[in-house]
Structure 1
Amino acid sequence: MFDHISIGVRDLAKSKAFYDAALAPLGYRCLHDAPGMLGYGLDEVGLWISPSEHPVPADMRSGLHFCFSAASRKNVDDFHKGALRTGGRDNGKPGLRPEYHASYYAAFVIDPDGYRLEAYCGGD
């Protein structure tokens, strides 16, 4: 459905450190690093990041949520650790979420600008 998404952040350097650490365990990397623009993906950019004075609504209730695919539960765990180590906040520790389905393993974080992120693995 989507070719890519774009988000705005307050501090591009801080966001680069966060997304490098959080997305590397999932196999995603920074494919485009130019003044005023970062692009992350596997082989093509799917997430564009650029500076913005007001990236997330002040009430933080937009409902916006990004879920990244993970190859393994360990990758989900490492996503969570990397995110917390680089300024992210916990929004749901790694674990099974049987309310979604029996093998739904995920972790949830909030990035330094308030975006809600998830890493998900459907297998063991």
Structure 2
Amino acid sequence: MPCDHLSLQVPNTKLEEVTQFLLASLSHLGFKEFMRPVPHVVGLGETMPYLWIAGVECDQLDTATFETLNKHAHIAFAAENAEQVRQFHEAGLKAGGTCNGPPGLRTHYHPNYYCAFVKDPACGINWEIVTHHGGDGK
């Protein structure tokens, strides 16, 4: 069964920065903000909100806890083709992210696994975009 949605907690002071990074990095895929149903919560997606970014006060989770969680956080988006992967990587770097793996085949996953990784500048979350159709641009 597919996942319907997920929520990621970030420090409240980083909510806007993470949101803007994602919008800048994924807008070429139709990714947009849908709603802010309550303060400090943003719903993002293409045709409906499926990624919820929730800002929490740092006294709820101390800074060291967030840094540990973010160091291991990894969220992957699906791309239709290799060009979308390359566009995400370029846009993510332009938006201030750090390359955590350039666009390319990762054949240790399977022969057509083509992806890129960018860590966002606000929290260091490892964002990935992947196509399972190889790197030929189709």
**TM-score tier (shorter):** 0.7 to 0.9
Report the Cα offset of residue 29 of structure 1: 1.6
Query: Could you list the runs of 4 or more consecutive aligned residues of structure 1 that deviate by over 4 angstroms after TM superposition?
Result: none
TM-score for the superposition, normalised by structure 1: 0.84
How many residue pairs get matched?
Answer: 124
Return the structure number with greater helix share. 2
1:122 aligns with 2:122: no
User: Which entry has the higher C-alpha Rg, 1 or 2?
Assistant: 2
Q: Which runs of 5+ in 1 are unaligned?
A: none
Name the % identity: 33
State whether residues 18 and 82 of structure 1, in contact with CA within 8 Å, keep that contact through their aligned partners in structure 2: no
- Residue 17 of structure 1 corresponds to 20
TM-score for the superposition, normalised by structure 2: 0.77
Q: Distance in 1 between matches of 2:80 and 2:132?
A: 8
- Residue 28 of structure 1 corresponds to 31
Q: Distance in 1 between matches of 2:34 and 2:70?
A: 30
Report the Cα offset of residue 61 of structure 1: 7.3
1:78 partner SS = helix
> Which amino acid is the alignment partner of residue 6 of structure 1?
S
Report the Cα offset of residue 49 of structure 1: 0.9
Closer, same or farther in 2 for the Cα pair 1:22/1:59, shift >3 Å? same
Closer, same or farther in 2 for the Cα pair 1:51/1:60, shift >3 Å? closer
- Residue 89 of structure 1 corresponds to 98
> Which amino acid is the alignment partner of residue 127 of structure 2?
L
Return the structure number with greater strand share. 1
Report the Cα offset of residue 31 of structure 1: 1.4
- Deviation digits for residues 37-85 of structure 1 (CA, Å, limit 9, x no counterpart): 2111121211001213357633357643111001111111111111111
Q: Distance in 2 between matches of 1:88 and 1:22?
A: 9
Q: How does 1:75-86 map to 2 (within 5 A)?
A: 75-86=84-95
- Residue 104 of structure 1 corresponds to 113
Report the Cα offset of residue 23 of structure 1: 1.6
Q: Distance in 2 between matches of 1:25 and 1:61?
A: 25
